[in-house]
Amino acid sequence: MYKKCDMEQINKVNTALFDKAVELLSQEWTIEKWQLTKTAQGNFIRNFGEEIGTFLINHSYTAGWRFGSNSFHQVVHLHKENYKKHNREIYKQGYYIIGTGLHEDLIILNLNTATVGYVDSDAFYRGEKEVDITALFKDTGLDIGTFYYRSITEKETFYSCAKDVK
């Protein structure tokens, strides 16, 4: 499992860029916040550390959103998504599903580095055996804010699925 203290030292969530991306979306859509329970808020801080936990709490909306080709799931449903039978191994290995790209490729936050990447859904869901997520993870090297900001501002030229990441 990842080390919470390591994540807190990285300090790589670019909240300002994510907020700019949300602002761009709000020009076209009504974006409403979803208030998480105190228990849920405490769990996010405990499980992901202060920075990422606070980011998730502050970016909880009534719906998931599509930033160009990439979606950001509704925060209130993230744990449910990550604890589905096939997806539990991702979380156990220090990764957390936060959205999907084209072809339902998983958008994943690497909890050890605080960077975002993809896992090809065909490769991941192909078999019933345990999968080494580290081998399938295509790291973009970008933090959450930069990833989603560039998803919406660069649209067709930005990553949209696992095969785009070289």
Taken in order 74, 59, 143, 11, the sign of the CA dihedral is: negative
Interhelix angle 15-26/38-58, rounded to 10 degrees, is: 80
Question: pLDDT at position 6, please?
Answer: 41
Cα distance between residue 137 and residue 3, in whole Å: 19
Question: pLDDT at position 129, please?
Answer: 65
Q: What is the DSSP letter of 139?
A: E
Q: For the segment 9-50, what is each residue's pLDDT rounded down to a tens digit?
A: 345 789 999 999 999 999 988 889 999 999 999 999 998 999
Cα distance between residue 13 and residue 58, in whole Å: 12
Question: pLDDT at position 131, please?
Answer: 73
pLDDT under 50: residue ranges of the chain = 1-10
Q: What is the DSSP letter of 46?
A: H
